[in-house]
């Protein structure tokens, strides 16, 4: 019911910043709760941040709290992840995800729709 496409990844030095974007399309794309997850090869997908459909509530993993900011612009059908003070441990493929009924914001298995991902590499 919703299609997602991430963009904005790239190579950045430690301490730098990147802004990831997620474009949503399909039927009622702004009705979905949205999340950002990241994954490195051979590891489980890890929760990063999530935001409710109207932007009223946001949630962050402890590892990124204070450095990352999730936001959305429903007029543009966009979700963003502003990443500041990046660390080498932030290196991963970042995925945008959507779920209509949010049951657990921190579990990747609870999200129904996924983008293909965008790669973020943070050099030391």
Task: Give residues with Cβ within 8 angstroms of 80, minimum separation 6.
Answer: 19, 20, 21, 22, 69, 70, 71, 72, 73
Strands (E) located in the chain: 2-7, 10-13, 18-26, 33-39, 46-51, 58-60, 68-73, 78-83, 92-99, 113-114, 118-123
**For the residues 109-123, what does the mean pLDDT come to?**
96
Structure tokens at 119: 């790669």
Tens digit of pLDDT for each residue in 18-58?
999 999 999 888 899 999 999 999 999 999 999 999 899 99
Tell me, what's the pLDDT at 47?
A: 97
């Amino acid at each position: 019911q919703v299609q997602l496409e991430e963009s904005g990844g790239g190579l950045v030095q430690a301490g730098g910043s990147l802004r990831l974007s997620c474009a949503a399309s399909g039927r009622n794309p702004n009705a979905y709760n949205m999340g950002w997850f990241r994954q490195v090869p051979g590891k489980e997908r890890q929760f990063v941040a999530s935001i409710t459909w109207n932007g009223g509530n946001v949630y962050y993993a402890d590892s990124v709290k204070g450095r990352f900011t999730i936001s959305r612009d429903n007029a543009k059908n966009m979700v963003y992840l502003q990443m500041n003070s990046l660390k080498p441990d932030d290196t991963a493929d970042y995925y945008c995800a959507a779920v209509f009924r949010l049951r657990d914001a921190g579990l990747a298995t609870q999200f129904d729709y996924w983008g293909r991902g965008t790669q973020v590499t943070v050099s030391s």
